[in-house]
Amino acid sequence: MTPPQRTGTAAALALLLMTATACGGSGSQAESGDGELNVMMYQDTLAVVQHNAAERYNEGADVRAVIDEVPGDGYDDKLRTVMGSGEAPDVFFNWGGGSIEPYVEQDMLLSLDDALAQNPEMEEAFIPSVLDAGKIDGVQYGIPLRGTQPVMLFYNEQVFEDAGVEPPETWEDLLSLIDTFNDEGVTPFALAGNTTWTQQMWLQYLVDRRGGHEVFQRIQGGDFEGWRDPAVLWAAQTVQDLVDRGAFGDNFASVSYTEGGASALLAEGRAAMHLMGSWEYSTQLAEAPEFAEEHLGYTTFPEVPDGQGDPAAVVGNPTNYFSVTSEADSEAAVDFLKQTYTQEYVADMVENGEVPVTTGAEELLDNSPNPDFARYQYDLVQEAPTFQLSWDQALPRTAAEPVLTEIDRLFNGQTTPEEFVDTLAALQ
């Protein structure tokens, strides 16, 4: 309980800090020229690869690379705060697309076109479609730093065996599996509805399969009338149909992904399938190692009726990127970026279960903790005609948030598919 004036103060104070820091934003860059290269990194178990890279880099350079790990929850707004406050890091982790567009608009990022021109081996090192996704308006701002993370359909092989069924290949298969598992008392699909972006994955695949890659490309290009594409309406109707059929059980709204809820449901056999990014494998390996090694199956998202899209297309995160801020010591930063395709770096990634996006990484995949899964993923991405970046990363944040909210409302039956389309088309 707070006295009245504090209601506003808490909110106002936060905004004051922003204002105060924004005014100082144009000031001198504290970090540059102090012999340190500050690298802001998303904190998780995989960041060990970047730590090792920094160590190798520090052996031969005058400038010391320092990895600052920032907790993943709220990484994006922490990044926004430091960038706006003149305390920007020199190099930072991001998702490309809409996640760095605002910084590009403010001329806060260094174009890496020159670096690529001077170091042709850098351009040749990566799978072209993935490197391309690090561009904003045709200018390179991001260099891939992680493995690829396509969204795929995971399933519990034990549950499928018990029910005597096979993973879905067509949409009819998928619908009949929903009935089968509901009769068995198993939730057909684990869905972490409390973590909105997990619901978004369903719409992404449905739209991509039904209408093709171009549907969202148009929206991503800024034309929100693109939401009125019939494929979007169909996808929204399909989502509500799935919910009504009990595809996600009846308490998905309170299941969280970040707290491990959905993954536990799959591992415990209380859910049969789970549509999730490829990192689900690492999550399961950490939380339920026995299940991950014995019974965790994976397949692609099935075709849909009258689908215009290529069934080999994938959605998800092509990879994560390092971008360099314009105030950074560009020479040192570019030197550091060269680490991301060294033999040691790629070998490190593979050992940690990642699937690199560097060309010619195939041979290394045998060293992966699960070579089959790694190769499956590598081929999936290699053969995919298109790789749609997650909507909430592809769109600018001002639009991404309302889109996530509307998707949430759609899954919870608080809006009709028609209203869903109208609301999204009306966004600015």
Partner 1 sequence: MSVLSPSRDGRRRPTAAPSARTAPSGRARRPGPRVGRPGAWWALPALVFFGAFAVLPMGLVVYLSFTEWGGLGTPRFIGAQNWTRLAGDPAMHRAVVLTLVLSVSSWAVQTPIALLLGVWAAGRQRNRAVLSALFFVPLLLSSAAVAIIWRALLDPNFGPLAQIGPLIGMPGLDVLSDGTAAFGVIVFVTAWQFIPLHMLLYQGGARQIPASLYQAAQIDGAGRLRAFWHITLPQLRNTITTSSVLMVVGSLTYFDTVLIMTGGGPGTDTTIVPYLMYRVGFESYQYGYASAIAFTLVVVATAASLVMVRLTGFGAMRSTREGM
Comparison of 64 and 78: residue with beta carbon closer to partner 1: 78
At 161, list the tokens: 């065996």
Per-residue exposure over 310-336, b if at least 16 CB sit within 10 Å of its own CB, e if not: eeebbbbbbbbbbbbbebbbbebbbbb
At 13, list the tokens: 């104070």
Cβ atoms of residues 62 and 35 within 8 Å:
yes
At 262, list the tokens: 């959905």
DSSP annotation of 302 reads P
Comparison of 202 and 376: residue with beta carbon closer to partner 1: 202
CB of 362 to partner 1, least distance (A): 39
At 26, list the tokens: 């144009």
Comparison of 152 and 266: residue with beta carbon closer to partner 1: 266
Chain residues that interact with partner 1, rule: CB under 8 A: 1-16, 18-19, 22, 25, 77, 80-81, 83-84, 102-103, 106, 108, 193-196, 250-255, 261, 264-265, 270, 397-402, 405, 408-409, 411-415
CB of 398 to partner 1, least distance (A): 5
- The closest alpha carbon to 308, from 173, 210, 232, belongs to 210
Cβ atoms of residues 264 and 287 within 8 Å:
yes
CB of 396 to partner 1, least distance (A): 9
Comparison of 63 and 110: residue with beta carbon closer to partner 1: 110
CB of 79 to partner 1, least distance (A): 10
CB of 248 to partner 1, least distance (A): 10
Comparison of 261 and 353: residue with beta carbon closer to partner 1: 261
CB of 27 to partner 1, least distance (A): 13
Cβ atoms of residues 46 and 107 within 8 Å:
no
CB of 114 to partner 1, least distance (A): 24
DSSP string over 245-259: TTTT-S-GGG--TTT
Q: Helix, strand, or coil here: 92?
A: strand
At 132, list the tokens: 């391309």
Comparison of 165 and 404: residue with beta carbon closer to partner 1: 404
At 90, list the tokens: 């020199």
Q: What are phi and psi of 23, to 5 degrees?
A: -65, -35
Comparison of 53 and 192: residue with beta carbon closer to partner 1: 192
- The closest alpha carbon to 181, from 204, 203, 158, belongs to 158
Comparison of 81 and 308: residue with beta carbon closer to partner 1: 81
Per-residue exposure over 366-394, b if at least 16 CB sit within 10 Å of its own CB, e if not: eebebeebbbbbbebbeebebbbbbbbbb
- Single-letter amino acid, residue 219: I
